[in-house]
Amino acid sequence: MMTGSGAAVEVAGLTKVFGGGVRAVDGVDLVVPTGGVYGVLGPNGAGKTTFVRILATLLRPDGGRVRVFGRDVVEDAEGVRARVALTGQFASLDDDLTGAENLVLLGKLLGYGGRGARQRAAALLEGFGLSEAGGRQVKGYSGGMRRRLDIAASLVSRPDLLFLDEPTTGLDPRSRNHVWEMVRAVVAQGTTVLLTTQYLDEADRLASRIAVIDRGRVIAEGTKAELKASVGAGSVHVRLEDPASRERAAGVLDACLAGVTQREDDPVALTVRLGGGGAAAAGQAATALAELARAGIGVESFSLGQPSLDEVFLALTDDGSGADRAAGKVGV
């Protein structure tokens, strides 16, 4: 596993214990491939931030190994720093300086000459829609502007791997969309992005591979499709015209679908979780719809959906650590 060939990040047996014996990261093994967005999904306090800070050389691991582009984060921290950048949960900016000065400073520190640093700062400000605000002190920025500047600051170095720690937490929907657009633009150029989030929706939209972590451990890892398949192929949702026909409809669905039919709180709604593979699901659903019509049951709406990551998360935390914790754990 620790071959260093091609993978952006290779983590083996990573452990971090804080004072008081809190195991913030507890034996994590992961491989993040080069390119695309890798999502690290977990509730508050799962250990996401600690994990990312170790990968970005800001924290030392207590056990295990981490290689970033084949370089060890402890033995060759400097080599790792040359290729990665981190935008943390809270802006790492100098509030007293202007937006432009923050970026020029980083440019100078990264080896751009005075003029080069100013040009790069101006280009970044323009790219992030901050040209007008560039001359103002950061302390006057809105939350969304601050986050954009913080991401721009991470790009001054042209990193090969960008860590984004909960990049949209606390942002309004429009600012959140901006951040997503930026992430897509950065990834399109071949930069790998490792993004932590507590929003299933965000991981679903951006990431191609996802690790689900809880209490410092990886409880599931894979492509989105794999994760969803692990809880079944999807669900059929049916809304009936007449609540009185629900039991009859449930009987029909049970007969022609290989799944479990649930009666929702809504007296006209039924949901069937499908167990089989993805391709077969559509065929099954079509059959089910035809059978309902043949039985003379009026259907108001009928839909087939992939399982959401919400369902994945609930299923994983249910299986892994008992139903008592599932309820309060999903941070959406």
By CB under 8 A, the residues from 165 to 204 that bind another protein are 174, 177-178, 180-182, 184-191, 193, 200-201, 204
CA–CA gap between residue 195 and residue 47 (Å, rounded):
13
Mark the segment that binds another protein (CB under 8 A) among 16-24, 65-73, 157-165, 238-246: 157-165
Nearest CA to 80 out of 100, 116, 54 is that of: 54
Q: Which of 223, 243, 254, 323 binds another protein (CB under 8 A)?
A: 223
Q: Which of residues 310-329 bind another protein (CB under 8 A)?
A: 310-311
Tell me how many residues contact another protein (CB under 8 A): 89
Q: Which long-range contacts (CB under 8 A, 24 or more apart) does 258-262 make?
A: 258/284, 259/232
Distances (CA, A) of 63 to 28, 81, 305: 10, 20, 42
Task: Specify the residue for token string 């259907």.
Answer: 299
For residue 9, give both structure tokens. 């990040």
Q: Which of residues 109-148 bind another protein (CB under 8 A)?
A: 109-113, 116, 120, 123-124, 126-130, 137, 148
Residue type, 243: P
* Minimum separation from the CB atom of position 255 to another protein (A): 21
Nearest CA to 130 out of 107, 160, 150 is that of: 150
247 contacts another protein (rule: CB under 8 A)? no
Q: Is 272 left (phi over 0), alpha (psi -120 to 50) or beta?
A: beta
CA–CA gap between residue 22 and residue 332 (Å, rounded):
24
* Minimum separation from the CB atom of position 296 to another protein (A): 27
* Minimum separation from the CB atom of position 162 to another protein (A): 8
Q: Which is nearer to another protein, 195 or 219 (CB)?
A: 195
CA–CA gap between residue 14 and residue 213 (Å, rounded):
13
Mark the segment that binds another protein (CB under 8 A) among 57-65, 212-220, 251-259, 319-327: 57-65
Q: Which of 106, 257, 274, 285 binds another protein (CB under 8 A)?
A: 106
Residue 173 exposed, middle or buried by CB count within 10 Å (0-12, 13-18, 19+): exposed
Q: Which is nearer to another protein, 10 or 165 (CB)?
A: 165
Mark the segment that binds another protein (CB under 8 A) among 6-14, 40-48, 73-81, 323-331: 73-81
CA–CA gap between residue 46 and residue 331 (Å, rounded):
11
Q: Are 121 and 107 in contact (CB under 8 A)?
A: yes
Mark the segment that binds another protein (CB under 8 A) among 16-24, 230-238, 292-300, 318-326: 230-238
Q: Which of 26, 29, 72, 101 binds another protein (CB under 8 A)?
A: 101
Q: Which of residues 7-46 bind another protein (CB under 8 A)?
A: 36-37
Q: Which long-range contacts (CB under 8 A, 24 or more apart) does 106-109 make?
A: 106/153, 106/156, 106/157, 107/156
Mark the segment that binds another protein (CB under 8 A) among 3-11, 93-101, 244-252, 319-327: 93-101
Q: What is the Cβ-side half-sphere exposure of residue 45, based on CA atoms within 13 angstroms?
A: 5
* Minimum separation from the CB atom of position 171 to another protein (A): 12
CA–CA gap between residue 40 and residue 48 (Å, rounded):
7
Q: Which is nearer to another protein, 64 or 116 (CB)?
A: 116
Mark the segment that binds another protein (CB under 8 A) among 3-11, 20-28, 99-107, 286-294: 99-107
57 contacts another protein (rule: CB under 8 A)? yes
CA–CA gap between residue 248 and residue 295 (Å, rounded):
9
Q: Which of 75, 94, 242, 300 binds another protein (CB under 8 A)?
A: 94
